[in-house]
Structure formats: structure tokens, C-alpha cells
Amino acid sequence: MESGPKLLHPWQGEPVDYRCVAMRFSREPGAADLGIALPDRIARAAPRRRAEWLAGRRCASEALRLLTGHGACLGMAPDRSPLWPGGTLGSISHSGDVAVAIAARADSCLGIGLDIERVMDGQGASEVAPEALTPRERRHLANDPFSVTLAFSAKESLFKALYPLLRRPMSFQLSELIAWGDQGTARLRLVEELSPQFPAGREIEARFARLGDLLLTRVLVTA
Ligand SMILES: CC(C)(COP(=O)(O)OP(=O)(O)OC[C@H]1O[C@@H](n2cnc3c(N)ncnc32)[C@H](O)[C@@H]1OP(=O)(O)O)[C@@H](O)C(=O)NCCC(=O)NCCS
């Protein structure tokens, strides 16, 4: 079943004004088609990939419209990162039949990243742990699928927030989840220097929220 993009308010007391939008989309070919001219690699992709790409764009456009009064269909850079209109930044994610996007004003933060993941079961967590967790995380989190999902998702959000700033390859070994609490707040710590502005040891806050069997995370990077 498909539904239009809906505004979410996953967290209270946020330091920055943004709009976060989610939609459920159909896996059927063309179901989410907006009449957008698709980039070649999306036009050639499997129907499932086209549907998720379009659903992400629909959410991003709605998030922009709610933030600025003007929606826009985002282009796609050769590295796959979405191209946000001047003066804005944001992030897109999808999992299963759900797409989400977040948009903020570029003068309010340096970067913003969003991720949505199905909460892993024990087997999923043990498959992901070797690549996604640092040795320290493996010692502390590896037996708890929710924490593994949170670490994985928060690092995806961190990557999406930082990539437009740093334009460098990153890996899951470069940061680790060091704390999280009942209020949907977590902390990541950089394990290695990413740039002079992002030295080893710098801590970056993440927010998280359960949406049924999905976990939504958001990383906001400020100066
Ligand atoms: C790029 C990556 C985040 C994509 O993840 P994914 O599993 O496809 O999952 P999601 O659905 O959550 O996100 C996909 C969206 O991310 C966005 N995205 C892709 N590359 C991106 C980039 N370089 N920068 C910002 N956003 C990007 C796109 O909008 C994409 O959706 P689209 O192709 O439909 O537009 C992931 O493959 C990756 O490389 N992760 C690395 C994480 C990491 O190293 N973290 C440590 C940071 S220190």
C-alpha cells in the first residue's frame, strides 16, 4: 500500500529547524513516478530500485517544500549523493517499503544525515557486526541486536552528514557508538582523524527513534 509523504516529529527540543518526512511506497514499477526525468542509471535500474529512488525524492521534495515553501526534485551526483538546492542540505534513506528524508537550511548546520533500518535480529546483528563494529563495540554491543542496529544506523547517518563536507571515503571503523539512552539520544566518537575539524576523539550526538520495527537515526553536525 502506498501513502503520500507525511511530516514526522520524531524528536523534541532540537537545536535546528528542519523538516523530516516519511512515506510508504509500493514495490510495483512506476508506482511512485512523479513524472521526473530519471537519471540514466536509475532509469536502467530494477523496478524496486526505481521505486525507492523516487520515493526518497518525493520525501525530499516535500521536506524542502515544508521548510522553504518550494519543493524540488533533487539531482544525483556521480558518487550517488543527492544534490540539494542552494541554501539547503539534507539526507535521504530507505528501508523495505519506507522512505524518509530530512531537509535543513544550510546556514543552520554544517551537515545532516538520516538513516532508517529494520531492527536486526540476532542473526542479522552477528552478520553485520564484523564489518560495522569496531573491536571495542564488538566487546560491548555484539550480543544486543538493537545496539548493533543503532551503531550501524548512526554511522550511516554520520557518513551522510559528513560526506558533503569532507568528500572522502569513510568506513564503519572510523567511529564508534559510546553511549545511548532512553530519551533517543546517542553519542558517536571518532576513532581516527577525518580532517583537522574532525579530529580523533571528537564526539558527535545522534538522535534515534523507533518507528514500529524500524529504527530512525539522525546526525546533525554543527561547527
Ligand atoms: C552511502 C551509504 C550511506 C548508503 O547506504 P544504503 O545502505 O544504500 O542506505 P540508505 O537507503 O540509508 O541510503 C541511501 C541514500 O543515501 C544517499 N547517499 C548515497 N551516497 C551518499 C553520499 N556519498 N553522501 C550523502 N548521501 C548519500 C542517497 O540519497 C541514497 O539514496 P538514493 O540513491 O535513492 O538517492 C552506505 O553505502 C555507506 O557507504 N555507508 C558508509 C558508512 C560509514 O562509513 N560510516 C562511518 C562514518 S565515520
Buried b (16+ CB within 10 A) or exposed e, 104-143: bebeebebbbbbbbebbeeebbeebbeebbbeebeebbbe
Give me 179's grid cell. Answer: 553511549
Pocket probe for ligand 1: among 61, 80, 89, the residue whose CB has the most ligand atoms within 8 Å is 80
Give me 139's grid cell. Answer: 566487546
- For residues 81-98, average pLDDT: 97
Residue 223: per-residue pLDDT: 82
**Confidence band for 170, pLDDT divided at 50, 70 and 90:** very high
Q: Are 104 and 16 in contact (CB under 8 A)?
A: yes
Q: Are residues 16 and 73 in the same domain?
A: yes
Residue 83: per-residue pLDDT: 97
Domain contains 50: yes
pLDDT at 24 over 90: yes
CA–centroid distance, 145 to ligand 1, in Å, is: 21
- 127/139 Cα distance (integer angstroms): 15
CA–centroid distance, 157 to ligand 1, in Å, is: 8
Q: What percent of the chain has pLDDT over 90?
A: 90
Q: Write out the H or E segment, with its range, that includes residue 137.
A: helix 135-141
Could you say which of 81, 108, 135 is where a domain stops?
108
Task: Say how far residue 130 (Cα) sits from the centre of its chain.
Answer: 21
From residue 177, alpha-carbon distances to 7, 19, 127, 206 in Å are 28, 25, 18, 9
Report the number of distinct structural domains present in the chain: 2
Could you say which of 76, 108, 140 is where a domain stops?
108
Residue 199: per-residue pLDDT: 98
Q: Are residues 189 and 153 in the same domain?
A: yes
Where is pLDDT greater, at 28 or 9? Answer: 9
Buried b (16+ CB within 10 A) or exposed e, 160-199: bbbbbeeeeeeebebbbbeebeeebebebbbbeebeeebe
Residue pLDDT, tens place only, 31-79 = 556 667 789 999 999 999 999 999 999 999 999 999 999 999 999 999 9
Q: Are 19 and 63 in contact (CB under 8 A)?
A: yes
Alpha-carbon radius of gyration of the chain: 17
Q: Which residues line ligand 1 (CB under 6 A)?
A: 52-53, 56, 79-82, 92-94, 115, 155-156, 158-160, 163, 170-172, 174-175
By residue range, what is the domain housing residue 182? 117-221
- The backbone torsions φ and ψ at residue 218, rounded to the nearest 5 degrees and listed phi first, read -140, 130
Residue pLDDT, tens place only, 90-149 = 999 999 999 999 999 999 999 999 999 999 999 999 999 999 999 999 999 978 999 999
Domain contains 181: yes
Could you say which of 77, 108, 139 is where a domain stops?
108
Domain contains 121: yes
CA–centroid distance, 160 to ligand 1, in Å, is: 6
Q: Are residues 53 and 80 in the same domain?
A: yes
Query: Which residue's CA is the closest to the ligand 1 atom numbered 29?
Result: 92
Residue 27: per-residue pLDDT: 73
Q: Are residues 153 and 209 in the same domain?
A: yes
Residue 3: per-residue pLDDT: 75
CATH number at residue 24: 3.90.470.20
Residue 32: per-residue pLDDT: 57
Q: What percent of the chain has pLDDT over 70?
A: 96
Read out DSSP for 12-56? SS-SS-EEEEEEE---STTTT--S----HHHHTS-HHHHHHHHHH
Q: Are residues 121 and 89 in the same domain?
A: no
Q: Are residues 121 and 183 in the same domain?
A: yes
Residue 145: per-residue pLDDT: 97
User: What value does the mean pLDDT of the chain take?
Assistant: 94
